[in-house]
Structure formats: structure tokens, C-alpha cells
């Protein structure tokens, strides 16, 4: 296991505090990342306060993660050690169903979408811990390449808040909704 330092909530009320925990060793499909920046999404606050559903505690929030690759599994060679990468709201899924194959892993038809934190791995037992931490190990299919030219503290919020705004504009859903309203 890999030792990690994070900030965790231990219940719905108290402030977050330092917490040491472990992540899995790097598997064949995994990328190990040293986290450099993590955005604070408003959903982090909702989840820590158990406002959407009972939280899994201790909880390490954070799903707007930017960092540098430090090691790779043998099937993750589309990444390089030292490269900048990002992770958003999901870290795994079944990889096989029509939704997952079409890039809509949030709708995994086997119910195996794994959320970056306050979720369970596909074994339905192991909690996931997010980006308020110094390291993460993630399946390669849920890691994105990040350009060296960008301001990383500005990149982090793109991985949830940014894509949430951009995607409906790009896909025309918002345009359709406005047309329908008027
Ligand atoms: Zn978010
Ligand atoms: Zn699936």
C-alpha cells in the first residue's frame, strides 16, 4: 500500500483535519499521481455535511485534481512519468457496457460508476478518497492529459465545475432548453 497524507472530515460537523491513510499499490491499469492542485467544488461541502446522502467517514473530498505522474502500470503506457494529468468526478466503471464504451460512464448500466470520493470501489467495500491529499492512484481511463502551458490552479476547477458548464453548451442542451422555454 502507498502512504498518503490528506485532509479528512470525520463527521458532518467538525472542520476537516490532517489524516494519514493508504492507497492501493499501482495495478496494471493504474496511474500514480502526485497531486499539485485540487479545486474546492460546492458539492464537497454538500457531501461532507451529508446533505445528499449519508457520507462515508472519514471523508477526503476533492474531485478537481491536477498533478504529475510518478509511476505507471504496464497497460497505462499512453501516459509518461513526469507528465501533467487531471482527474475529475469519476475514477472507475465497468468499462464494458454501451454507456461506458460511449464515454458516459456516469450512466454505467452495471451500476459500477466509482465516484472519486465518498464512494466505493467496484468491490462495493473499499471507500474512495479524493484530491484533498498528496497522492492518488487511478485507473488510466479516468485520467486526462493536461498541457504544460496552462496555469494549473486554473485547470483544477475545469475538471468538475468547468466541464459541468461547458458540456451542456457544447452539446446544445442549454440552447434546446431555451428554445423550448420561449
Ligand atoms: Zn464538483
Ligand atoms: Zn458500464
Residues 117-163 pLDDT 10s:
999 999 999 999 999 999 999 999 999 999 999 999 999 999 999 99
- pLDDT value, residue 177: 73
Helices and strands in the chain, H and E counts = 5, 9
Q: How far is CA 113 from CA 41, 93, 157, in A?
A: 19, 4, 21
The topology under which CATH files domain 2-181 is Quinone Oxidoreductase; Chain A, domain 1 (3.90.180)
pLDDT in tens, 2-55: 999 999 999 999 999 999 999 999 999 999 999 999 999 999 999 999 999 999
- pLDDT value, residue 180: 72
pLDDT in tens, 101-122: 999 999 999 999 999 999 999 9
Q: How far apart are CA 38 and CA 157, in angstroms?
A: 8
- pLDDT value, residue 88: 97
| Contact criterion met (CB below 8 Å) for 62 and 24 | no
- pLDDT value, residue 99: 96
The predicted model gives 79-88 an average pLDDT of: 98
Q: How far apart are CA 118 and CA 142, in angstroms?
A: 17
Please report which ligand is nearest the Cα atom of 98: 2
* Domain extent listing, the chain: 2-181
Quick one: cell of 176?
Answer: 434546446
What's the CA-to-centroid distance between 92 and ligand 2, angstroms? 9
What's the CA-to-centroid distance between 104 and ligand 2, angstroms? 8
pLDDT in tens, 49-68: 999 999 999 999 999 999 99
Q: How far apart are CA 30 and CA 153, in angstroms?
A: 24
Query: Could you tell me what percent of the chain has a pLDDT over 90?
Result: 90
What's the CA-to-centroid distance between 98 and ligand 2, angstroms? 7
- pLDDT value, residue 179: 74
What's the CA-to-centroid distance between 27 and ligand 1, angstroms? 26
What's the CA-to-centroid distance between 38 and ligand 2, angstroms? 27
| Contact criterion met (CB below 8 Å) for 79 and 101 | no
Bridge partners (DSSP) of residue 9 are: 59
∠ CA 111-165-103 to the nearest 5 degrees? 35
Instruction: Write the secondary structure of 92-147 as one string of H (helix), E (strand) and C (coil).
Output: ECCCCCHHHHCCCHHHCCCCCCEECCCCECCCCCCECCCCCECEEEEEHHHCEECC
What's the CA-to-centroid distance between 113 and ligand 2, angstroms? 7
- pLDDT value, residue 159: 96
Amino acid at each position: 500500500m502507498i502512504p498518503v497524507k490528506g485532509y479528512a472530515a470525520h463527521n458532518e460537523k467538525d472542520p476537516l483535519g490532517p489524516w494519514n491513510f493508504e492507497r492501493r499499490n499501482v495495478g496494471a491499469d493504474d496511474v500514480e499521481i502526485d497531486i499539485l492542485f485540487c479545486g474546492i467544488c460546492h458539492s464537497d461541502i454538500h457531501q461532507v455535511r451529508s446533505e445528499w446522502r449519508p457520507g462515508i467517514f472519514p471523508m477526503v473530498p476533492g474531485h478537481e485534481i491536477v498533478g504529475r505522474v510518478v509511476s505507471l502500470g504496464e497497460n497505462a503506457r499512453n501516459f509518461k512519468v513526469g507528465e501533467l494529468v487531471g482527474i475529475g468526478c469519476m475514477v472507475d466503471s465497468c468499462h464494458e457496457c454501451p454507456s461506458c464504451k460511449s464515454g458516459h460512464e456516469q450512466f454505467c448500466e452495471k451500476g459500477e460508476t466509482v465516484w472519486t470520493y465518498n464512494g466505493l470501489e467496484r468491490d462495493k467495500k473499499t471507500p474512495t478518497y479524493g484530491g484533498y491529499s498528496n497522492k492518488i492512484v487511478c485507473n488510466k481511463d479516468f485520467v486526462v492529459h493536461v498541457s504544460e502551458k496552462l496555469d494549473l490552479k486554473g485547470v483544477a476547477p475545469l475538471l468538475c465545475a468547468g466541464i459541468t458548464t461547458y458540456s451542456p453548451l457544447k452539446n446544445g442542451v442549454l440552447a434546446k432548453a431555451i428554445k423550448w422555454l420561449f
